[in-house]
Structure 1
């Protein structure tokens, strides 16, 4: 008898519900867009109720598609969740949304972070929590609300993440998982909540609002009657705690232990590696791993596929209106393949890997350049930004190959750019829904389908596509990119 598992994966633009067989093969998918609210500079928000209804719609679509595909009614044995990390989804003491959620692209707290950098708070946080705060971190957002919206701050009942809000809507129980508990207020050595960390940010009154911490593969609750009526799921189905989406992507791509470096070209530039001991560095986040005694180091910036989406929405409306938009755009890329790669793109539209608020830029544009040249530069700039992070995590280049997932990885042209820009072998799993699969693996572990993380990785593994680097192809462009980034950062400081 086939066992079915459902993984929910909610990114910054689309929420997906994917039904898998226990071997990791996809049965059916439902998805629904979730608009971002960007009505003020630096604010990138989400309506929490609209988000929950989008989740429910995606679940209904997946169940309907699965019934059609299998010729009978299909119901998952367990469900789990993944969602964009960082940002904050607040609920009040009655369990109702407390205003719009702040997503991980939100930068309203930039000035607060700059103040913490200046007064030494950030360095103390690095030593205590394994990471320096950044604008979308819960620490920074909560400090912003405390200073600017004290009534809202006083009404906080629970501090949730995206996936925690989804699970709360499914089960009525507030909790978070072991990995995401460590985004701001966990002692990096003990891997537990730290009163000292809360005091460091002057947020001690938030101690009781921090949700209970469960392991990702624990049953965190069961589908309520209300959620069942809205989603079509059976009441009482177990819901596993789940994972921050970038960790879920790594798990879904077969990365559950040290050795392989995972690169996720999603909205954020995510670059991460599991480690067996806590190792801190100013340019990466050291957070809890899948279980006690494991950590992961993650070097990130909000400067990956989100900037590609922006470029296409601004310059390629003609292509996006056709039946084959990427076919048209690929033809433009092919037409400039033999032209020098002169244009440099810094993909810093929503933030950068630098501590100051460096803006994005095109550099080196000429009158004879066209959209193909600019699109190629966008792809190179995104890949170079990932390389910036990967070289921080692995400066000695001990990892010869990288596991690449995310939207950009699905296009062979851009996957090859990553190999050339990184000057490392790139492996791309054929599984497209790695985030949802990582969540589904949590569901399978929670009900005993898999014996452990390694067993789940083996039993759900897909074949990989491999891209070999051309060491010389983008070598000079990488040097120019680094110099441009340094120059723009310095210029921005002056002006």
Structure 2
């Protein structure tokens, strides 16, 4: 019988959920993932079945436990997609499908908030820029169009909080997620003043207590044990929103530390000593729960779905990503003048600029343009979006990257070549689950703090050095990219209107 101890990290992603078992030296002992669909509507809705997400996680935990039947489980850590509206009633049953961070039904409401001062109040209090998938925006949307749902709801639980509730019965959140609702990131308390200013004073009743992300979050109940195969009584951590939890896995816990993630969305962030130290009024901040420290970040919605989309458009569904990337490399840096604007999200774009009407397009093509240039332009467009965020936050030094999108060597190289900075990639996969596991070790008392837990589960790093030859090419191409966007941006609203008319 094995006496090796393991810690399990659960990552409730947007398109897939997973559970990963790590030994206490950071090695992966078991992993399993389940796909979870996003249901899109004609008015910009992007919803998910909360029960289906829980069943997917339960299946992942059963499978991981089956692969490690004799190992002692020290703790379970949690992370997941952020934002949206995840509403449950007094009995803990969902009152509607979760409206996810991708939801774009309230796009016009975002524009109204920008004009009437509500967006400014949100930014002033919580450090958050307003977009369609933000909880207060969706709360107003439901208050006007589906008030019975709000009346029946007792608690708003983000994805990882919903999963913890199903595991432990505890209704909690952490400070990073609370920052996406009504938290004042200076006082670290929910702001009644902000709720009043937004015209929704009663919304605070839905918010669970906010506690530190490395605090205990309860234990697995008998009911959850029967569904997951995890022994009842196993400690469960509070956890953290997915864009922030990778920092824990990378041992990025000190002021000035930063990192990039590329998944369904992008992420560029760094830790600041206090909210007043933020480098840009275009950024968002999250309270970390470590004193006055905040995570300042930009989250462009220009992630890996762009790559999935071009694979389908070019009919490359049967090709592996290595082969697709080889095709992209056959085109020169700069893609022969082809520019791709990667704003394909139904909700538009939120960083480093806000435009709910933003749309994707290729520009600079002709009858002689080969597929390889169209393909490479997508890789470059996604990278350029991240580079703009790096520039906005004035991030110097090494760029530490993680996430599924950065498994692409080409993306790492373009990022290095465009910025002129060394890119350092975490070698091991499952960065989100690893960060969740790090926090869980602290919450269970198996490590004294996040730094010690991160050292226990640390992994190797791989470097990408910038090419001086390509730096000038990419910088000039990036300038063309920004000029092309500026030129087409004025007609984005009309394009959206034509799209709505055709769908209707």
Superposed pair shares fold, TM > 0.5: yes
Taking a change above 3 Å as real, the CA distance of residues 209 and 339 of structure 1, as seen in their structure-2 partners, is closer
Contact 1:261 1:401 (8 Å CA) reproduced = no
Alignment of 1:352-431 (within 5 A): 352=349, 353=351, 354-356=353-355, 357-394=357-394, 397=395, 399-431=396-428
Shift of 1:340: 4.7
| Inter-partner Cα distance in structure 2 for 1:65 and 1:383 | 37
**1:16 maps to which residue?**
18
The residue matched to 2:261 in structure 1 has which SS? strand
**1:329 maps to which residue?**
324
**2:225 maps to which residue?**
228
The residue matched to 1:309 in structure 2 has which SS? helix
Which deviates more from structure 2 when the two are superposed, residues 39-48 or residues 335-344? 335-344
| Inter-partner Cα distance in structure 2 for 1:339 and 1:189 | 44
Shift of 1:49: 0.7
**Structure 1: gaps spanning 5 or more residues:** 68-72
The residue matched to 1:8 in structure 2 has which SS? strand
| Inter-partner Cα distance in structure 1 for 2:211 and 2:171 | 11
Shift of 1:393: 1.2
| Inter-partner Cα distance in structure 1 for 2:138 and 2:252 | 31
Shift of 1:494: 6.9
**1:151 maps to which residue?**
148
**2:308 maps to which residue?**
309
| Inter-partner Cα distance in structure 2 for 1:195 and 1:379 | 44
Shift of 1:203: 1.7
The residue matched to 1:76 in structure 2 has which SS? strand
Taking a change above 3 Å as real, the CA distance of residues 486 and 25 of structure 1, as seen in their structure-2 partners, is same
Alignment of 1:5-404 (within 5 A): 5-67=7-69, 73-279=70-276, 280=278, 281-316=280-315, 319-321=316-318, 325-337=320-332, 340-350=335-345, 351-352=348-349, 353=351, 354-356=353-355, 357-394=357-394, 397=395, 399-404=396-401
| Inter-partner Cα distance in structure 2 for 1:289 and 1:311 | 37
Aligned-residue CA RMSD in angstroms? 1.7
**1:70 maps to which residue?**
none
| Inter-partner Cα distance in structure 2 for 1:167 and 1:209 | 17
Contact 1:103 1:136 (8 Å CA) reproduced = yes
| Inter-partner Cα distance in structure 2 for 1:83 and 1:315 | 31
Taking a change above 3 Å as real, the CA distance of residues 145 and 338 of structure 1, as seen in their structure-2 partners, is closer
Task: Give a deviation string over 1:70-125, Cα, whole Å, max 9, x none.
Answer: xxx23422101100111121111221011110111111111111101001111122
Task: Give a deviation string over 1:257-284, Cα, whole Å, max 9, x none.
Answer: 2233211111111111111111354311
Shift of 1:309: 2.1
The residue matched to 2:336 in structure 1 has which SS? coil
Contact 2:334 2:477 (8 Å CA) reproduced = no
| Inter-partner Cα distance in structure 2 for 1:338 and 1:22 | 43
**2:502 maps to which residue?**
none
**Displaced runs of 4 or more, over 4 A:** none
| Inter-partner Cα distance in structure 2 for 1:215 and 1:428 | 28
Contact 2:186 2:292 (8 Å CA) reproduced = no
| Inter-partner Cα distance in structure 2 for 1:480 and 1:28 | 46
Matched, 1:433 2:435: no
| Inter-partner Cα distance in structure 1 for 2:305 and 2:43 | 17
| Residues matched between the structures, number | 483
Which deviates more from structure 2 when the two are superposed, residues 202-211 or residues 123-132? 123-132
Shift of 1:233: 0.5
**2:455 maps to which residue?**
458
The one of 2, 5, 20 equivalent to 1:3 is: 5
Taking a change above 3 Å as real, the CA distance of residues 237 and 329 of structure 1, as seen in their structure-2 partners, is same
Contact 2:439 2:453 (8 Å CA) reproduced = no
Contact 1:22 1:449 (8 Å CA) reproduced = no
Shift of 1:428: 0.2
| Inter-partner Cα distance in structure 1 for 2:417 and 2:445 | 42
Taking a change above 3 Å as real, the CA distance of residues 118 and 418 of structure 1, as seen in their structure-2 partners, is same
The residue matched to 1:333 in structure 2 has which SS? helix
**2:501 maps to which residue?**
none
TM-score (norm 2): 0.92
Taking a change above 3 Å as real, the CA distance of residues 334 and 193 of structure 1, as seen in their structure-2 partners, is same
Shift of 1:11: 1.0
| Inter-partner Cα distance in structure 1 for 2:221 and 2:272 | 37
Task: Give a deviation string over 1:175-225, Cα, whole Å, max 9, x none.
Answer: 101211111301121121111111122221122210111211111111111
